[in-house]
Amino acid sequence: MDTRLNYFADPIAAKALKHLMSAGKALKESRLPAATQELVALRVSQINGCAVCIDMHTKEAAAAGETPVRLHLVAAWRHATVFTEAERAALELAEQGTRITDTPGGISDAVWARGAQHYDEEQLTALVVLISFMNTANRLNIIARQPAGDYEVGRFH
């Protein structure tokens, strides 16, 4: 598969991506737990089929100490016992936030309430921005056919 665009070679895209990456850095600095951030980023990317983001977030999570078992079970989190209730709430919010047309009104009140049981307003805000950020990143990579497999941990930090 050939890449359609080299975003970093185009001056306009490089400028826009610099700002987008700054948003990603701000999310990393939020009080939303780092493990939750990686699990959510991975799940959103799995739903959207973004191979380059799956590559990146699997490797980043593993480097941060995430276990292979949990990484392998993210796609089936509902049926796995290895996630905390807070992580499960975040993953459910990520799924509905990614599949917004599947639920009338986007995020159901029940899913939102489960998230609010585990995260304060600042963390919920970070979670919502992360879900939106990942959906944007996934679309940029999928549209331009960015290749996966050669991501090196820390490349964008």
Looking at residues 62-69, what average pLDDT do you find?
A: 94
- Higher pLDDT pick, 154 / 57: 57
As a whole number, the mean pLDDT across the chain is 92
Residue 130 lies in a domain: yes
Q: What is residue 2's predicted lDDT score, i.e. its pLDDT?
A: 81
Q: What is residue 105's predicted lDDT score, i.e. its pLDDT?
A: 83
Residue 149 lies in a domain: no
The count of domains in the chain is: 1
- Is the per-residue pLDDT at 84 higher than 70? yes
Q: What is residue 53's predicted lDDT score, i.e. its pLDDT?
A: 95
Taking residue 92's Cβ as centre, other Cβ atoms within 10 Å add up to: 20
Residue 152 lies in a domain: no
Q: How far apart are the first and last CA of the chain?
A: 27
Residue 101, CA atoms < 13 Å, CB-side half-sphere: 0
Q: Which domain holds residue 136?
A: 11-143
Query: CATH number for the domain including 138?
Result: 1.20.1290.10
Q: Cα dihedral sign for 125, 87, 89, 148?
A: positive
- Is the per-residue pLDDT at 1 higher than 70? no
Element holding 156 (H helix, E strand): none
* Residue burial 40-69, b: 16+ Cβ < 10 Å; e: rest: bbbbbbbbbebbbbbbbbbbbbeeeebeee
Residue 2 lies in a domain: no
**What does the alpha-carbon distance between residue 148 and residue 53 come to, in Å, rounded to a whole number?**
8
157 band by pLDDT with thresholds 50, 70 and 90? low
Residue 157 lies in a domain: no
Residue 150 lies in a domain: no
Q: What is residue 155's predicted lDDT score, i.e. its pLDDT?
A: 75
Residue 134 lies in a domain: yes
Q: Cα dihedral sign for 66, 69, 73, 78?
A: negative
Looking at residues 133-139, what average pLDDT do you find?
A: 96
